[in-house]
Structure 1
């Protein structure tokens, strides 16, 4: 089975792309979004994982419940993984899900956008995997994040509800993916806008680059999302909603657009997204928007940190565990 990992900034159309792949090609298994591909990076790529370590990693993934696997399944997963290295574990897990479905698949897609920040550890842990990066206009990403609740953190908006934070993160991510591609890394780039305008052409191009044989594999069932994520993926298996492509123009405030375009200039230029508001705004208004955006960013950051502190009381043991975890993983994360 071919391993495919989908990389993205949240609200960039990754679920829609996954749905389109699953609907058109019945031999592609699309897994629900889980954190496992990134959590596996805590282990060295060439060091086998022990059973208790695998179980601990799975328990840390709060999204793993969407797979509906049992303790017995974990035991089987451990036994069936040929090398118990990250890539083998992902493939064995896909095989387990395929067995539950009573189906055979030629490829499996794992959605794990945050894993892209961990290159080159990601590439080292999954040496034969193919990678797809789906990107979307930063203003549409910011707009969607501002209107979407975090499914596993009630009361919180995605991207902290902060255009500054989301736009800056978007710029870092997409420019990082572009730099990797230019350096020769095999990353398939997919534009969400192009996917909506001409899904057949985009999907065919992706399949060709993946070198998958899909001659008879047409007519898949789409994908299902976890109950807790249904509110943010209401249109997952519907046709493209082209009216949403430019919805940000009527929904974002002036300062939110200015902040997004200013902080994401490099990424927008690289991907061919044209600035609009920034070109027609006076210097005074532009500066005022940035100033307000920064003040709001400071407020949103402090509110987020305080909320997390109050929600999760940190005992000395937990604090020690977090420090050890950060020391172990800080060198894995790419610095782009």
Structure 2
């Protein structure tokens, strides 16, 4: 069983890529598991919190580090086994949780032969999409603001950029250049002998308009895609951000993500640093200083008491 992890900033097209790849009969996938960033991370945090316990409490009194890793791996092995069972002809398990970009070390610790695909998308398109979906889903993206969403893209990309330092089983793709040949090449990279015609068929089946219907949709649907929230499957228009973001919004994204986005050939167009962003940074700095001051006063009061 080969393991493949798709990572990237949220709203970068990772779900679309997941569906495209899973049109191969040899790849089985499922909804985002959040296995490493939510479930297994709690075990790891607990292990570390007891590492220097003066009373030797915690699982360290029962397990060596190697045995503890085996315990964690038994959980993830079972999860991947269940994903593999969804498609009898599959030999590759594809897991797509964008936030696993931050947990590649934990993944490689348990699965040193794991493969990774990092999908990158123009941060302005990502920010526009996160803001739109955040409003519909009423989640943290809705209140993060353009600055916060830009920093989320930057943080995710920087985290994923570290993966190839630890493994050669890494491939980086851009959303804007995903096409039939890219899909076919990626299948080949995974050791699959799929035809270019199969890649073309997968692209047609996974077109946004077809994902919203039952008849014309993908042959392999790991979950009922048409029942996803409305904002989950948006236009698929690569330049929609140009009409969805104001010039000030674009300038903020450019100011924060500029050096990294230019590395991926996304040209900045914002002019300078907008007044709105400078005001935001000033307010953020004041809030941070106030919070630090409050903590200092609280610690001083505790010492007095």
TM-score (norm 2): 0.68
* Residue deviations 1:284-324 (CA, integer Å, cap 9, x gap): xx3413224447879xx9xxxxxxxxxxxxxxxxxxxxxxx
Q: CA separation in 2, counterparts of 1:142 and 1:9?
A: 10
Superposed CA deviations along residues 174-195 of structure 1, whole A, max 9, x for unmatched, are: 1332344356653211111111
Tell me if 1:206 matches 2:186. yes
Whether 1:137 and 2:122 are equivalent positions in the alignment is yes
Shift of 1:252: 0.3
Task: Measure the CA separation in 1 of the matches of 2:97 and 2:176.
Answer: 20
Q: Partner of 2:13 in structure 1?
A: 13
User: How far is the alpha carbon of 1:167 from its aligned partner?
Assistant: 0.9
Higher alpha-carbon Rg:
2
Q: 1:171 aligns with which of 147, 154, 158?
A: 154
User: Structure 1 residues 207, 149: closer, same or farther in 2, change over 3 A?
Assistant: same
Deviations 1:32-77 (A, max 9, x none): 1121132224446xx9xxxxxxxxxxxxxxxxxxxxxxxxxxxxxx
- The reply on whether 1:94 has 2:80 as its aligned counterpart is yes
Question: What's the CA shift for 1:97?
Answer: 4.3
Alignment of 1:220-259 (within 5 A): 220-225=219-224, 229-234=228-233, 244-259=237-252
CA separation in 1, counterparts of 2:33 and 2:17? Answer: 16
How many residues are treated as equivalent by the alignment? Answer: 245
Partner residue, 1:30: 29
Alpha carbons 1:130, 1:186 under 8 Å: kept: yes
Shift of 1:86: 4.4
Report the CA distance between 1:168 and its aligned residue.
1.3
CA distance in 2, matches of 1:204, 1:142: 29
Structure 2, gaps ≥5 residues long: 48-68, 203-218, 289-305
- Is 1:113 the counterpart of 2:112? The answer is no
Secondary structure in 1 matching 2:94? strand
SS of the counterpart of 1:190?
strand
* Shift of residue 207, structure 1, vs aligned partner: 1.8
Q: What are the Cα deviations for residues 223-261 of structure 1, in whole angstroms up to 9, with x where unaligned?
A: 4257984333336xxxxx66x111111110122111111
Determine if contact 1:259/1:293 at 8 Å carries over to the other structure: no
**Structure 2 vs 1, CA of residues 5 and 102 (structure 1 numbering), >3 Å: closer, same or farther?**
closer
Structure 1: tracts of 5 or more residues without a match? 48-82, 236-240, 302-336
Aligned residues: CA RMSD: 3.4
- In 1, Cα distance between the equivalents of 2:284 and 2:123? 17
- Alpha-carbon shift at residue 148 of structure 1 (Å): 0.5
